[in-house]
A and B are shown apart, each in its own frame.
Chain A
Amino acid sequence: MPDNKDILGVFGDTETAAEGARKLRGAGFTNEDYDVLTGNPYPEGAFGEHVKPNRLFVFSLGGAFIGFAIAFLFTAATQTAWPLVTGGKPILAVPAMMIIAYEMTLLFAMIGTVVGVVFESRLPRSSGAGPVYDTRITSGYIGLIVTTTEDRLSTAEAAFKEAGAADVVRESS
């Protein structure tokens, strides 16, 4: 497998970035080859990019099951370990167990969701934003980052320049 490298085109506004995406397509790159970097959300597919499906709900659901199990075990175990009748209520007081199970299910579902979001976002990255990045992206510039073989980097660079990129950033070897 040849080593893929990154090259980033930095564009000043939406129109030139869209033009950059068109030029890349024209040069033979598909939407799997490039990604977009922006400082704020843009409408999905605005630059023809493709976002792979995520499995966030698996984390939330898994967390919910874990929370429910912990709550059920905790309440059942503590009540049977010290079987004291309080206020005439049964030893295994189902309504009380339901309240605690409800809270713990939601707590662990939320924790699962956060873990899922961070993981599915491919975070944390040990290299921070990475070597191929431009800090102007969080000031309104739009980045198109192409991941391709070394021989095609110059094609991408040409496409960027033709579209009017403000800058091109290459991975230093």
Chain B
Amino acid sequence: MQDRPRLTQTQVNEELLWPVFSFKRRHALAFIPPLILLMGGVIAVTILIYQGLWVTGLQRPAFWGFFIVNFVFWIGVSHAGTMISSILRLTQAEWKRPITRAAEVMTVFALITSLLHPVIHAGRPWRIIYWLLPYDFARGVWPDVRSPLVWDPIAITTYLTGSILFVFTALIPDFALIRDQSTGMRKKIYSSLALGWRGTPRQWKLQGIFGILMSALILPVFVSVHSIVSWDFAVSVVPAWHVTVYAPYFVIGAVHSGVSMVLTLMALMRWIFKLENYIWEDHFDAVGRLLIFIATLWLFFFFLDFAFSFYTREEQELAVMQRRLFEWPFNAITVIMIMTSYVIPIPLWLSKRVRRNIPLMFWTSILVNIGMWLERYFLIIPAIERKNELTFLWSNYVPSLIESLVVLASFGMVALLLLLFAKVVPLVPAWEAKEGIVFREDVQIGEVIVPGIIKETEEDKAW
């Protein structure tokens, strides 16, 4: 651990709150790329709604294409928030401090973005509202709770609600901070949001318990959400989809892609918002080490799926595997996927020098997400194109420009929402940063000074 200067609280306030109180050029310029991407998506969706779903590449039997791949991808990315914030809270890892809020809020925005995809996919999204409001109780037609397509929205709603509540409650002390630093209308708004927070020990203790308890509650939800998404595929009898390992495979893939996205986000945050005092090389090092473990676990589950596809030597399943490995374009996708998800990043990340090199970590994390996006494509498309034995029902799915624009726009949307969020509250939790400063006690061992953390205090016996 390197020698870190001890920041004052005024300094922390200034360095973390400037995006809220001012709109500097670097923050403003950061809006441009996501806005461009989002514009492309809006135009694409407008064309799709006006012309109909035929402008996509979807056709029988491949009714699930880019939109579903992207849907699964963004739900996967959303798992990073809980992984980083909840698991690191439960294990009391100090290095979680600067990244919990950004990860949690990325979860919320990734979930919102993913939820748009089934809506766009419907082709005539207003019909969904027409069917649901008012709900037709008269015919007694109820949703089939036995279907994973019903489990899905319930799980995602639970996860979204939980994540929003988690973010909001942990934000209350920072709303109070902004209230205290503001005047006029801003003060009134943040006063309401702060709910009258004063910072008594009881309130702080409850924040601490809340963090642990909410983490313990949201973790089972996090595991179940992507498992349920995987069961959209796995409980069916489509060859190469009906595989019991899909649930943990999807979950660990989600964590892999999500935590890599957090790495990307950390590098961008540090650069755009000048957070060198809060996001250190140590954090990249720690996330990198975590990712080695997660990626290796992902590889193990991928290997299980791969090895057992040859287990029963079932014709249909072997045929799908053959397509995935040897037929164009899936052979290229498979190779790129393995290279970018594991073969290139992990050996690099084994080196401490690489883990502490922020530009390298940024680019390798992007590589991972390219690979993980392709992994969803690898899993879904080859199987669904051949899901029926009748050859006249086979198709070759070719994604269209409209679908590609929507996929790119989804990245723009998440980035835009994050940048807007940064305008409203500090991305790095100010109270957690200050807590880290207060709880830090440097200790001398021999000639070396090492950082320590206060675990608990006790009153003087003479008190």
Contact = CB atoms under 8 A, between A and B. Distances in A.
Contacts of A39: 9, 173, 177, 199, 431, 434
Interface stretch (B27-35, B207-215, B261-269, B444-452): B207-215
Interface in B124-168: 140-147, 150-151, 154-155, 157-158, 161-162, 165-166, 168
Interface in A42-81: 42-46, 48-49, 51-52, 54, 56-57, 60, 74-75, 78-79, 81
A81 B145 CA distance: 12
Contacts of B43: none
Interface in A108-124: 109-111, 113-114, 117-118, 120-124
A84 B195 CA distance: 49
A107 B218 CA distance: 9
B196 A51 contact: no
Contacts of B151: 96, 99-100, 103
A36 interface: yes
Interface in B163-215: 165-166, 168-169, 172-173, 176-177, 179-181, 191, 194-210, 213-214
Interface residues of A, number: 67
A138 B174 CA distance: 9
Interface stretch (B70-78, B375-383, B385-393, B455-463): B455-463
B198 A37 contact: yes
Interface in B420-463: 430-432, 434-435, 438-439, 454, 456-459, 463
A104 interface: yes
B214 A41 contact: no
B177 to A, nearest CB: 4
Contact of B214 (A103, A110, A126): A110
Contacts, number: 207
A74 B142 CA distance: 10
A120 to B, nearest CB: 6
Contacts of B210: 56, 113-114, 117
Contacts of B166: 110
A106 B142 contact: no
A43 to B, nearest CB: 4
Contacts of A79: 142, 145-146
Interface of B: 8-10, 13, 140-147, 150-151, 154-155, 157-158, 161-162, 165-166, 168-169, 172-173, 176-177, 179-181, 191, 194-210, 213-214, 217-218, 220-221, 224, 228, 430-432, 434-435, 438-439, 454, 456-459, 463
Given A54-B206, A107-B161, A140-B9, 9 more contacts: A25-B463, A38-B199, A48-B463, A56-B210, A93-B146, A96-B151, A99-B151, A128-B179, A129-B197
Interface of A: 14, 25, 35-46, 48-49, 51-52, 54, 56-57, 60, 74-75, 78-79, 81-82, 84, 86-87, 89, 93, 96-97, 99-100, 102-104, 106-107, 109-111, 113-114, 117-118, 120-130, 133, 135, 137-140, 143
Which 8 A-B pairs rank lowest in CB-CB distance, beginning with the nearest? Answer: A125-B196, A140-B9, A40-B434, A135-B180, A78-B142, A124-B195, A43-B457, A107-B158
